[in-house]
């Protein structure tokens, strides 16, 4: 009986370790931050097209599962290709490609297969949603991971384009995305990802310097990066005006207030005694900002 108990405990521990490795491989929070806009845009498209969710449950699961797999495939290929960089960074030491828990060959194969399966599932949604899924994957994997990240300080902008496709995927599964709401969400995500990423790179400056990744704080210094960080947050301010008519004044007021709070925090960063701690706080607020904004969109259209 004791041996059985020990075996069960060992199996449970192995399962937990496997799940943790998978979470680290898929960059947990990054995956969620990319899938949530797909769901939000899908929901909003139903609302503005006058459709019932109950009539599109099958399409909903196809879209969520397919897009999640495509995004997961892109993240796995990113980890596979960047293992040499990750080995020199403290923040990535728990990734299974670095620890050796997953072989590079298996991660490469999993990334390719997951991408293909995800795109195959998206084929059964709409051609437009399939196209946006592929474009998001292509920009992240080919243009960002394979091409620009190791060469150019503006690689962050390219990475931002890939993430901005996610609301277009969700909306296009229901209707063409030539509507002010998905287009504005695309721009919001495009801009939002820059200060979010800059906060990460400022917080982990030594990591990126040691790995030789030419991120903006590494190439041009923290003060320049902080100025870019502030400018991009300010660039978010006009966007809620575009959504007053479709989403109402409650959304507008909340979105403006959140952005102003973020701007104030960004300004305070120039006088911060501990800029790494400031960057960590900015990083957290950027996630809160995104979650609250997209969650509010759903609540207001229930």
Residue 273 lies in a domain: yes
Host domain of residue 280 = 17-300
222 to 236, 259, 262: CA distances (angstroms): 22, 22, 18
Q: For the chain, give the longest Cα–Cα distance.
A: 67
Any domain includes 155: yes
| Residue 7 is assigned to a structural domain of this protein | no
Mean pLDDT of 255-265: 98
Domain membership flag for residue 4: no
pLDDT digits (tens, 9 = 90+) for 95-110: 999 999 999 999 999 9
pLDDT in tens, 33-70: 999 999 999 999 999 999 999 999 999 999 999 999 99
Residue 6 lies in a domain: no
| Gap between the Cα atoms of 89 and 242, Å rounded | 40
Percent of the chain with pLDDT over 90: 92
State yes or no: pLDDT of 252 exceeds 60.
yes
Residue 8 covered by a domain: no
Considering only residues 18 and 121, tell me which one the structure prediction assigns the higher pLDDT.
121
Q: Residue 126 domain-assigned?
A: yes
C-alpha to C-alpha distance for 140 and 128, rounded to whole angstroms: 18
Residues whose CB falls within 8 Å of the CB of residue 22, separated by 6 or more in sequence, listed in order: 96
Asked if pLDDT for residue 245 goes beyond 80, the answer is yes
Give pLDDT, residue 258.
Answer: 98
Q: Is residue 122 in some structural domain?
A: yes
pLDDT at 29: 87
**How many domains are there within the chain?**
1
Which CATH number covers residue 161? 1.10.357.140
How far is Cα 16 from Cα 274, in angstroms, rounded to an integer? 36
Please give the Cα distance from 213 to 272 (Å, whole number). Answer: 25
Average pLDDT over residues 272-280: 95
For the stretch 147-187, pLDDT in tens is 999 999 999 999 999 999 999 999 999 999 999 999 999 99
């Amino acid at each position: 009986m004791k041996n059985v108990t020990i075996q069960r405990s060992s199996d449970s521990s192995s399962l937990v370790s496997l799940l943790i490795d998978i979470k680290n491989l898929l960059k947990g929070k990054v995956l969620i931050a990319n899938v949530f806009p797909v769901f939000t845009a899908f929901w909003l498209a139903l609302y503005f097209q006058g459709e019932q969710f109950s009539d599109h449950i099958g399409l909903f699961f196809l879209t969520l599962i397919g897009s999640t797999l495509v995004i997961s495939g892109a993240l796995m290929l990113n980890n596979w290709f960047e293992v040499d960089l990750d080995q020199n960074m403290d923040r990535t030491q728990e990734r299974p490609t670095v620890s050796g828990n997953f072989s590079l060959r298996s991660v490469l194969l999993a990334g390719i297969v997951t991408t293909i399966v995800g795109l195959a599932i998206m084929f059964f949604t709409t051609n437009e949603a399939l196209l946006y899924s592929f474009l998001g994957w292509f920009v992240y994997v080919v243009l960002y991971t394979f091409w620009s990240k190791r060469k150019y300080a503006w690689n962050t902008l390219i990475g931002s384009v890939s993430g901005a496709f996610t609301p277009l995927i969700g909306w296009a599964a229901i209707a063409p995305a030539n509507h002010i709401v998905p287009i504005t969400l695309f721009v919001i995500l495009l801009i939002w990802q820059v200060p979010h990423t800059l906060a990460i790179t400022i917080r982990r400056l030594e990591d990126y310097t040691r790995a030789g990744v030419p991120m903006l704080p590494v190439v041009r210094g923290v003060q320049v990066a902080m100025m870019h960080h502030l400018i991009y947050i300010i660039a978010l301010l006009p966007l809620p005006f575009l959504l007053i008519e479709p989403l109402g004044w409650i959304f507008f007021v909340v979105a403006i207030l959140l952005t102003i709070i973020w701007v104030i925090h960004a300004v305070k960063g120039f006088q911060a005694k501990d800029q790494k701690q400031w960057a960590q706080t900015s990083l957290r607020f950027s996630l809160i900002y995104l979650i609250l904004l997209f969650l509010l969109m759903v609540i207001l259209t229930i």
